[in-house]
Amino acid sequence: MLFWIILVSSLGFLWFLKKLSCFVRWLFNLLLRPAKDLTSYGSWALVTGSTDGIGRAFAFKLAASGLNLVLVSRNSAKLKTVSAEIQARSPYSKIKLFELDFSGDDVVSRVGEMKEAIDGLDIGVLINNVGVTYPRAMYFHEVEERVWMNLVRVNVEGTTHVTKAVVAGMIGRGRGAILNIGSGASIVVPSHPLYAVYAATKAYIDQLSRSLYVEYKHQGIDVQCQVPLYVSTRMASEVADVERSTVFIPRAERYVEEAVKWIGYESRCTPYWAHSLQWFFASMLPHSLLDSWRLTVAITRIQKSKQNKKN
């Protein structure tokens, strides 16, 4: 009997020590670990989906950190506006614009043109931010082919093509940081019902990032998947009725303020502290409970949007 008591207490103590060391490491990373000097990776950063939300906030932050920018997005007028706004705040940053619609049929040739346009630039930081989701919660059988093909093209193919176009230069220079924006939808919760294809594309981003992290670490290239939960942007307002920021749903600028401090470290992280807390509590709950909670939330959203249409 005594043997079993000692065994169980020892295992419990080891479990406690493990959790404590995770907690201390998290606090250290959050509060004390110095951010990397992003200019040490190279003098240029390329940001996809840079005209709104998280990508736009990254563009402002990276310019303020002393980097020149290549901004890639689909809308030329919005690109020019964002560029002018950044230039007003960071007049010494050089900015190049490249109009590219990742959902287009010509994405391969357009990324090829982008590659030529950035040839010779010392691109040290790549932010693969572009991403889209369903216009609303939908069962898989209701999602039109056009919609899910769009998601796969933008979220999966776009990120893969751009990474391929940029990583070759990084290998040549022996340095670089690649940040891929994943989502809690594929990592923090065990399922994301009624947004299945979106969650699946983000699982691809996560696994791609982890493998590339291992492939390129020894060549001086740091690959990372960041896992945001809700951030107050247009996307969040469309899918989750997020109307304003809260402590758990930060503004894009607040998220990015934290996000840049994590670039170049672990292969996967969630940089915003309140998101980490949510992840921690989610990890304590049984998957079946999280599954039914996500399903209920999504079904409620469908009912609410039907009700809104009627009114």
Ligand X SMILES: NC(=O)c1ccc[n+]([C@@H]2O[C@H](COP(=O)([O-])OP(=O)(O)OC[C@H]3O[C@@H](n4cnc5c(N)ncnc54)[C@H](OP(=O)(O)O)[C@@H]3O)[C@@H](O)[C@H]2O)c1
Q: Which residues are catalytic?
A: 198
- CB nearer to ligand X: give 170 or 252: 252
Q: Determine, following the binding rule CB under 6 A, whether residue 74 of this chain makes contact with ligand X.
A: yes
- d(Cα 40, Cα 37) in Å, to the nearest integer? 6
Can you read off the two tokens belonging to residue 242?
Answer: 């997020």
Residue 10 neighbours by CB distance under 10 Å: 10
Contact between 272 and 258 under an 8 Å Cβ cutoff? The reply is: yes
Q: Which of 181, 199, 263, 269 binds ligand X (CB under 6 A)?
A: 181
Q: How far is CA 156 from CA 33, 151, 261, in A?
A: 32, 8, 25
Q: Which of 228, 250, 264, 271 binds ligand X (CB under 6 A)?
A: 228
Residue 14 CB-density burial (10 A; 0-12 exposed, 13-18 middle, 19+ buried): exposed
- What residue type is assigned to position 173 of the chain? R
Cα 144–Cα 56–Cα 150 angle in degrees, nearest 5? 15
Closest approach, Cβ 149 to ligand X, in A, equals 12
Closest approach, Cβ 208 to ligand X, in A, equals 13
Tell me the β-bridge partners of 244.
none
Q: Which of 154, 178, 179, 298 binds ligand X (CB under 6 A)?
A: 154
Closest approach, Cβ 113 to ligand X, in A, equals 14
Closest approach, Cβ 96 to ligand X, in A, equals 16
Closest approach, Cβ 203 to ligand X, in A, equals 12
Q: Which of 75, 207, 211, 292 binds ligand X (CB under 6 A)?
A: 75
Residue 146 CB-density burial (10 A; 0-12 exposed, 13-18 middle, 19+ buried): exposed
Can you read off the two tokens belonging to residue 104?
Answer: 């287009």
Q: Determine, following the binding rule CB under 6 A, whether residue 251 of this chain makes contact with ligand X.
A: no
Q: Determine, following the binding rule CB under 6 A, whether residue 250 of this chain makes contact with ligand X.
A: no
- CB nearer to ligand X: give 39 or 267: 267
Q: Determine, following the binding rule CB under 6 A, whether residue 69 of this chain makes contact with ligand X.
A: no
Contact region with ligand X (CB under 6 A), list: 15-23, 61-69, 229-237, 288-296: 229-237
- CB nearer to ligand X: give 131 or 193: 131
Which positions from 104 to 133 touch ligand X by CB under 6 A, shown as an x/- string? -------------------------xxxx-
Pairing assessment for the beta strands 176-181 and 268-269 based on DSSP bridges = unpaired
Strand order of the β-sheet with 68-73 is: 95-99, 68-73, 44-48, 123-128, 176-181, 221-226, 268-269
- What residue type is assigned to position 172 of the chain? G
Closest approach, Cβ 250 to ligand X, in A, equals 10
Q: Which of 26, 29, 43, 52 binds ligand X (CB under 6 A)?
A: 52
Q: Determine, following the binding rule CB under 6 A, whether residue 253 of this chain makes contact with ligand X.
A: no
Q: Which residue has the tokens 């049929």?
A: 105
Q: How many residues bind ligand X (CB under 6 A)?
A: 30
Residue 285 neighbours by CB distance under 10 Å: 12
Contact residues for ligand X, defined by CB under 6 A: 49-55, 73-75, 78, 100-103, 129-132, 154, 181, 183, 228, 230-231, 233-236, 252
